[in-house]
Structures are given as structure tokens and as C-alpha cells.
Amino acid sequence: MLSLLAEMANVARRPSSAKSLAKCLGVHDLVVFIKDPEIGVLLPAPGFPQTLPEGRVWREFLTESVAAGVHAAELPFPDPQTRQEAVGVATDEETVLVLIGGKPCPEAVVEVRLLLPLLGAALQGQGAVLVAAGHSRAARRAAAEAEALAGALDATRRELQQALHAVDQELTQRKLAEQALQEERDLLTVTLTSIGDAVITTDTEGRITSLNAMAESLTGWASAEAAGRPLDAVFRIVNEQTRRTVDNPATRTLREGVIVGLANHTVLVRKDGTERPIDDSAAPIRDDQGQVLGCVLVFRDITERRKAEAALQENERRFRTLVEQVKDYAIFMTDAEGRATSWNEGVRRVLGFEEADFLGQDIVPTIFTPEDVESGVPLRELEQAAATGKAGSDRWMRRKDGSRFFATGTTAALHDKAGKLVNFMKVMRDQTEQKRLEDELRKTAADLSEANRRKSEFLATLGHELRNPLAPIRMGLELMKMAADSPAKMEEIRGMMERQVLQMVRLIDDLLDVSRITRGKLQLRICRVAVANVVQNAVEMARPFIDEADHQLTVAVPPQPIHLDADPNRLAQVFSNLLNNSAKYTPEGGHIWLSAERQGSDVVVTIRDNGIGIPADMQTSIFEMFTQVDRPLEQGYTGLGIGLTLVKQLVEMHGGRIDARSEGSGRGSAFEVRLPLKGRELRVQSPETEALLALDSGLWTSSKLRVLVVDDNKDAAEMLGMVVKALGNEVRTAYGGPQGVEAAEVFRPDVVLMDLRMPEMSGYEAARHIREQAWGKDMTLVALTGWGQDEDKQQTKEAGFNHHFVKPAEPAALQKLFAELQLNSSTRGIW
């Protein structure tokens, strides 16, 4: 039996070999059935036939039989031959064993029961089996015994396997736990060695169990040397200010089981007695049940941090001192809601707030203008600063007293480490003056651009205005050649040429006067004058221009004399220019009115017309240089646009005021000149003015003097010589400085009329040469020049000239001078 079991066991290791197992059992064929866990019935095991001989599948056949409740022993097989083949019985139909669901049939069970555990083990414990075999009763008994023995052995084997499995699992878990613990220890050792903090561990009695490398370095104790010592012996700390021993935080940690930190200003006394400022904390070491097993003390050297903190504090102190002393900049901080939290001297200077009044104020309504607050400017500025870090701010702000100033500045947002907005800082400076200067510069640039435009127009007009009189003058010269036999025609041509020359002189005089006024060189010669006489002279000066345009002029002057202190020539120039202006801007056949009246301590002269008027947008700029009102093209009059500028400057030099009025285009215009009756200090009349007065009074006599004319311009010299000769004098001409000196020595004139700007030798030099000679000490030297200011006259006086005439010299002024010299040859050097 044992040999049979051994052989079966060997064969059972190869369950796919069905024929070997059948041979072992002494049968021709064998079919082993395994219980299917899905349907609960026995099916042929792998390696055995899966179908009945007629092709029907065992699985279907048995499933239907069990479902029909048929007893296993009464399974309805087909014919006997088919049943034999189906259950694997080859020879003995009567010895058939059937097991279904672990319940054997009653026939011949004992002989084969012992075989079942071996078969089950051979089939890897996959369930109960159905064995069909043909054999003897001895074989069935042997099988039953084998089955019982195999069952007992199998139970023992299972128990041993379970025990071994439990032991193996326990050993595996213990090994894994020990490995994890070692890994944790290794990781802790590496961590403590590599971290920058010093670490000391103790037991529950406060005795040191370990120090990491940094702790060894800071305390001066080796870990092995310190192990077992009380913590206070190795970790000795004192207060750096009081020098008293500080309670060790580990003591409280061990006693109360809480985390404890050191107080500030604590220093560690190292083994060698040196000290290090430290920062530390102690925490309990607990087991899984929460029991305190010891203490871990973590500390660090804060020497560098102390230095950094000290440097930071010093920088903060310096910055605060600087900020507080800065007066030109208002520098302050606010909280996240915009309330002021700091103040400096600049806030007082720029915004006008004292510290107590400023702190806590909401800066939005406090320093921003109401219109900016209403339009949301402050909110947008703070939002931009919060989003981008800063926001520029160049705008008008408000002081405590409500006054406004132009500020430039920046608002910056300050965040904490977590990125939360905590403060705003605002820096601003009063730039009102700079803003004013910038605005003035922009205005100046615009004015310069406009002035440049007007200058270009002026130059173009100047060329036109100078050509206008030159053309008829040149034409008159040609006509004079052709009309030599007609005195009447000659006189007509001469009158035309004289008018054109006067027009050129007037243009040039206006230009020179504007230039002198601009440079502060024009000097008024104030005297007591009658307004009626000044008006009469102005009318006479403007009459040709008025008559040419066929205008009607109405003059209204009160019968009672009105006197004022003024320069008669310049005042007549003012009124004549205004009359000319009215004639110029009034269509042909218009009407001009001039009136004078006394109003309190002033005299008011008004010139008005029914001309084209002044547009409303030009009434304030009409007196500016080169400004002209556009006129219809059919009106041929032009001008330089400087007449009214000159008028305004001359009136203001007299202490007066001029205003222009007009109801608009086509409605005429009016100019009102208001002058004080008591004016500036009286000055001596100029020779030109005296000559004009003498001309008016008829005090003219012919003279017979020897006169030398010196000018490098030959035509000018010859022309002037002809005028002087026409006045009854003997004349010689010279065309340069050296020639003039030679002619004076030979001719010995009574009067020398000399130009100043000559090549080779100027008039100044020539005059000095003449004065240096005995024969020239008593000659009357008269300077002829385009410059007529006081400093110009002073220069000619210093050079030896007796008189100073401005070109072109008026024949009347020359005749008066010659008359005076002839009447009183001793009169010299009158200025």
C-alpha cells in the first residue's frame, strides 16, 4: 500500500498524465472530475476527455442532471457501452464509483477513499473529484486506508504550513521594521550633521546624549566628551546685559513637556570662555504613547544677524533722520487704506501740516483737489501702485490752507513676505515755479514762433514798402530829364518825389524808433506843450495821406488851451500815426474824427473812423509788433505792422495808456489816448525840435558861410552840398576821412558836416586830427549819423564835434544852425 501511495504521489506530481495515473490504479482508463466553483458540479479535470462519445459536453449533461434533482447514483447514461466509456470503466461495469459534491455513492467506497486526498493534492487542491475505476475489493480497501492516511497527513501538513507562514511573516515584519528604524537613524544623523543649526539631545534627567557637529563647534565640546554630562555644564548661557545666568529652556521642557524659546540678548559661554550671541528653543522628545523620553535643544549663532540688525537699525536711523530733515520733499507713508502713518519736515513745508494734524488723516480728501477726488484720480493712482509697484503723480495738489501747488512725485506700494499690501509710501515735491517756467517757456516758444512768422511777413512787407517810393522816385528822375523845359512839370515831379522821400523817411524813422525803444535808447525831450499845437502838427503830417484817400477829417479841440508835459515831436508822431492808420483801414471816401478833451488830471485824445474795424480776436493783439488787420485787395495801402506798436510804446513812455475799440468787422474803430497833464521832468529841446519851432515862427534868414561836406558816399556828399549851397553858403566836398582833413586845412571852413562811418579814417578820427591843429580849434564840427541816442552824442562830443545831427539832416535844421552861427559866431558847443 505504501509503495502504491508513493507511486501515486510521484505520478500525481504530473496531473496532466491521465494514463500514468490510471496505470498506477490498475485500470485501463481513468477520468477525474473537479468541482466547478461557478455551477457547483463536477467536470472532467484538465487532461481528461471533456465530452461524451456521442459528442455531448459533460458540463451541459451534468448541469442539466443536477438541476433536475437526479441522484448521483442514478445518473441516466445512454446505453451501457456509452456509460462505460463516459465514466472511464473498461472491463467491470458493476464496480463503478461515483462522487458528486464530495458525497460518494455507497458502492465500493471504502476501497478507494484513501486515494482521494492524494488525487486532490495531485490536482493542487482544486476540489472534490469523481473517480470511476474497475478493480477488486482489496484495491478498494487499500484505497480507503490510503485515503484516511493521506487525509491525516494533509491536515498536519496544512497546520505546519500555516505555522511556518505565520513565523515567516513575523520575521519579515520585524526585519522590515529594523531596516526602517536604521534608515531613520541614518537620515537623522545625516540631517543633524548637515543642518546649519546646533542640536543637543538629552534624556529625561537632562543629561546629554548627543551633539551634532555644529553644536560641537559652538560649545567647544566634543559629543563623546559631553555625553552623560548635565546640560548646564555644556550649554551655559547668560544675559549679555546683566551677565546673570539664564534659566536653561530644556529644564522647563523636561518638566512641563512644552516647547520653550530663549529670551533676547542671550549669549552662550563656550568651553574656552569665549561668548557667542545665540537664539534657541527646546522641544520634548516623546514616544508613541506621548511619554517624554528626553529633550532636543536647537540653537544657532546670531553674531552675523546681530551685525546685520545693527547695520539695519543704523541705516534706518540715518534714513529717518534724512527723511525728517528733508524739507523740499514731502515724504510720508500710509496704511493700506490710505491713512497717513508717518511725517517729515517736508510735509510741513510742502503741505503745511504739523505732525499731529497729519497722522491718521485720509490723504485722499486731504491733499488731492476736489475735482481729482470726484474723477477718481487718487483711487486709480493707489490701484496702479498696488498692481505694478509704483505710480507717477504729476498734478495740482492741495495744501492745508486750501491753496494749490503743482507737485511731482511717486506713490510706491509696500508688501509683506506673503505678498499682502501693508503700506503706501508717497514722495512729492512742490514744482509750481518749475511748472510756471515750463509754461512760460512753452508760451515763449509759441510767441517766438509767431514772432518769427510775423518777422518773415515784415521783411517781405518791408521790401515792398521800400520799393513803392523808390519806383516813383526813379521814374521822376527820368521824367525830370524829359521835362527840363517845363518848370510847372518839374515842380509837379519834385513834389511827387518829395512825398515819396518823406514816406521812406517815415518808414525808416519808425523802424529806428522801435529799435531804440526796444533797446531802451529812445530819450524823450519833455517840455510844456499845448495839445492844440500838437494835434495841428499831427494833422499836417497826416493830411497828404488823408487827402489822397479822399477822406473827410473832422477835428474837435476845446477853445480853452490844454497844456501838458510831453515831447511835442513824439506826441505828434503818435497822433499822426493813428490818423494814418485810420486812413489806411478806411475805404476811400470815408470819415475820420479827431477829438481832444480834458478829463480830470488827464487829457484824452480820440481818433475814430468808419473803416473796416477790428475783429474781436485781434483787439488785444493789435498793438503787438508786425500785427496787421487784413484789408481788401483793392486797397493799395500797405505797411510794416509796427506803427501801432510804436504808438503804444511812445504813449506808455509818457505815462499814458492807449485802448482800441471796435464793434467788429465793417463797424469802424476807435483809439483812445489818455495822457497825464503833469508828466515827466522837463528836458532841453533837441536842435531838430527847435528848428521846427523856428520854422513855424518864421525866424529864417539866409547864411553865407564856408561849409565843408565830408562823406564817403559821393552822391550823398554832392546832394548835401547842393542843399547847403542853395541855402546861400560856399561849399566844398571831400569823399573820405583823410581827404576831409586835407580839405579842411586848405579850405579853412566855418562849418564841417562830416559822416562818421567812413573807411580808412572814421569821422571820429578825422575830427580829432582837425582839433589837434591850431587852425581847426575854432571850426564848428557837425556829426552826421544814423545814430542819435545820448551815448552816441556823448561819443561825438568827446571826439570834438560841436553838433550831432541824425541823417537825413533836415534842411530847416541846417538853415537854423547856419543862421545862428552867422548871427553869433561865438556860439559853439550848444547841445
Q: What is the pLDDT of residues 419-463, one digit of tens each?
A: 889 999 999 999 999 889 988 999 888 888 877 776 776 666 566
> In whole angstroms, what is the distance from residue 478 CA to residue 484 CA?
10
Would you say residue 494 lies in a domain? yes
> Looking at the structure, do residues 10 and 153 belong to the same domain, yes or no?
yes
**d(Cα 432, Cα 408) in Å, to the nearest integer?**
9
Under 8 Å between Cβ of 95 and 88: no
Kindly state whether residues 346 and 359 are assigned to the same domain: yes
Q: Among 777, 773, 766, 750, which residue's Cα sits nearest to residue 711?
A: 766
CA quadruple 624, 538, 523, 794: dihedral, nearest 10:
130
Residue 90: what pLDDT?
26
Q: Is residue 711 included in any domain, yes or no?
A: yes
Same domain? For 225 and 357 the reply is no
154: in domain:
yes
Closest CA to 733 of 755, 712, 718, 748: 718
Look at residue 201 and tell me if it is in a domain.
Answer: yes
Picking from 654, 676, 698, the residue at the C-terminal end of a domain is 676
When mean pLDDT is compared across 111-115, 201-205, 588-592, 801-805, the lowest value belongs to 111-115
In a domain, 440, yes or no: no
Range of the domain at 276: 195-301
Write b or e for each residue in 507-526: b if 16 or more Cβ atoms lie within 10 A of its Cβ, otherwise e.
Answer: beebebbbebbeeebbbbbb
For residues 487 and 423, membership in a common domain is answered with no
Q: Which of 506-510, 513-517, 815-819 has the highest mean pLDDT?
A: 815-819
What is the tally of structural domains in the chain?
6
- Other beta carbons less than 10 A from residue 483's beta carbon: 16
pLDDT one-digit tens code per residue, 553-600: 999 999 899 999 998 988 988 998 899 889 988 999 999 999 999 999
Is 744 a domain residue?
A: yes
pLDDT band at 120 (very low <50, low <70, confident <90, very high): very low
Residues 426, 465 within the same domain: no
Residue 607 lies in a domain: yes
Same domain? 631 vs 736: no
**Domain at 263, CATH number:** 3.30.450.20
Task: With a cut of 60, say whether residue 122 has pLDDT above it.
Answer: no
Residue 762 inside a domain? The answer is yes
**Distance between CA atoms of 15 and 119, rounded to whole angstroms?**
9
Are residues 204 and 295 both part of a single domain? yes
pLDDT score at 182: 64
Query: Model-level pTM greater than 0.85?
Result: no
Let me know whether 611 and 654 are in one domain.
Answer: yes
CATH of the domain at 483: 1.10.287.130
